Amino acid sequence: MRNRDIPALTGLRFFAAFAIVVEHLWPNLMKVTPGVPYPDSFHQLAYLGMSLFFVLSGFIIHYNYSTLVSSARGLYDFAVARFSRLYPLFLALIVYDVICGNFILNSTSVERRPYIVALPYMLAGIQSWVYGFFGNHPITFPFHFTHVSWSISTEFFLYLTYPALCAVVLLPRSPKRAIHVAICVCAVSTLILWWVRENGPLIDRLGAVLGVIENPNADPKTQFSEWFGYIAPYPRVLEFFTGCAVAQAYMFLDRHPVSERERCVARILVIGAMAYIAMFVLEFQIDADWLTELVSAMGLLPAISIVMFCCARYDVKLLSWAPVVALGEASYSMYLLHMVIIEKSAPTVFVDPTLANILILSSRTVVILVAIALISLGMHRYFEQPMRRFLRRVLSRRSTTAPVAAQYRRPL
């Protein structure tokens, strides 16, 4: 039986992508002397957007595919669904970057070599799995516009872990136990992620023991601990796992009506979680030691889990609003393509912070955001969806069952 759609979660995907877009847009556009205002707060949006992306991915994947991965045939269908969803636009961006990025044009054979050697990692979608360099280029970031694709590479790795994670998440047989498992997974994951954040030097030393060689001349510069804590898929499994566990708890509770007491408790939890997320983003503006310690210890996982569960469980009209849902469906295009649009429109030099300049930059911000939204909606409708249908038709077995086909119709 097909699970019901949850439009609020599709809308939430838009806000995850929007956080990343704004974080990249601000420093590229607001080039006013003596420097970009509030850079740290906007940089925090990247952490928020990426963590929300991976936790939400775990929830949606488990919600849609938990009954599908228990057999070899189901695993194949799962692989076809995810490959058809992600790879076409991923490949299109790589092709665009290679052809239009001037990495090979007018370069010597020596200068071309790092890019050519890195290309198989990109095409295989494994560039975030390995720490290393080709010349002065990290394996994760060999080209330019494809820098953002590291998260898609990480997502591919998470899909490989899902069958094992699903087996664990499906163990509880009652709503109470499912809730306990979700809370435990979230708590343990939060503790491990805190340890990773607090022990960067130790992780660097462990990497050196394992033979990891850092490159101080790399562009962009990436320490092993920074790569492991933010880019590598291995800690991200914990966020993905938490999303799966929360989805399982939701699926049990969805069979029961919402009581007024439950709704009241949910409001309190959501208000607290949203207030914490706001403090996380504004951490460097508030500049309070207690807040720094709290953010360092908690991270974002508990707050994101609460918000995500409540968006699924209760009626969130803003996130279920049709335009927001449409943007959520186009969020993948928005995420992969936004830097192309931003860099084509961003100023190349810093300007004085006069009223006229600020008005021009603010107006340009609105124009760029509208352009990103419209182009993303168009790419989703006229490229993503046709390519997805084509690949499923080519790769799917003729004997695919109706329930599986119904699962595939839900956008993700």
Q: Is the pLDDT of residue 402 over 70?
A: no
Q: Is the pLDDT of residue 147 over 50?
A: yes
- Using CA atoms, how far apart are residues 348 and 367, in angstroms rounded to an integer? 17
Residue range 163-172, pLDDT digits in tens: 999 999 999 9
- Using CA atoms, how far apart are residues 124 and 118, in angstroms rounded to an integer? 10
137: β partners: 134
409 located within any domain: no
239 located within any domain: yes
402 located within any domain: no
Model's pTM, two decimal places?
A: 0.92
Q: Is the pLDDT of residue 207 over 90?
A: yes
- CA torsion 49-54-55-59 (nearest 10°) is 130
- Using CA atoms, how far apart are residues 321 and 312, in angstroms rounded to an integer? 14
Tokens representing 50 are 């990426």
The domain tally of the chain equals 1
3-state secondary structure 144-191: CHHHHHHHHHHHHHHHHHHHHHHHHHCCCCCHHHHHHHHHHHHHHHHH
Output the CA–CA distances (angstroms, integers) from residue 329 to 247, 314, 385, in the order listed.
19, 20, 10
- Using CA atoms, how far apart are residues 133 and 298, in angstroms rounded to an integer? 32
- Residue 91's SS3 state is helix
Helix orientation angle between 7-29 and 355-379, rounded to the nearest 10 degrees: 140
Q: Is the pLDDT of residue 315 over 50?
A: yes
Highest mean pLDDT among 63-72, 106-115, 122-131: 122-131
Q: How confident is the model at residue 14 (pLDDT cuts 50, 70, 90)?
A: very high
226 located within any domain: yes
211 located within any domain: yes
Residue 2, pLDDT score: 66
Tokens representing 373 are 């939204």
> What is the average pLDDT across 50-73?
94
32: β partners: 351
15 located within any domain: yes
Sign of the four-CA dihedral 98, 101, 105, 111: negative
Q: Is the pLDDT of residue 291 over 60?
A: yes
213 located within any domain: yes
**Which residue has better confidence, 360 or 407?**
360
Residue 143, pLDDT score: 85
Residue 52, pLDDT score: 98
3-state secondary structure 351-411: ECCCHHHHHHHHHHHHHHHHHHHHHHHHHHHHHHHHHHHHHHHHHCCCCCCHHHHHHHHCC
- Using CA atoms, how far apart are residues 94 and 103, in angstroms rounded to an integer? 12
Find out whether 93 and 336 touch, Cβ atoms under 8 Å: yes
**Residue among 58, 65, 12, 56 nearest 237 (CA):** 58
- Using CA atoms, how far apart are residues 406 and 412, in angstroms rounded to an integer? 13
408 located within any domain: no
- Residue 140's SS3 state is coil
Q: How confident is the model at residue 296 (pLDDT cuts 50, 70, 90)?
A: confident
Q: Which domain holds residue 304?
A: 7-396
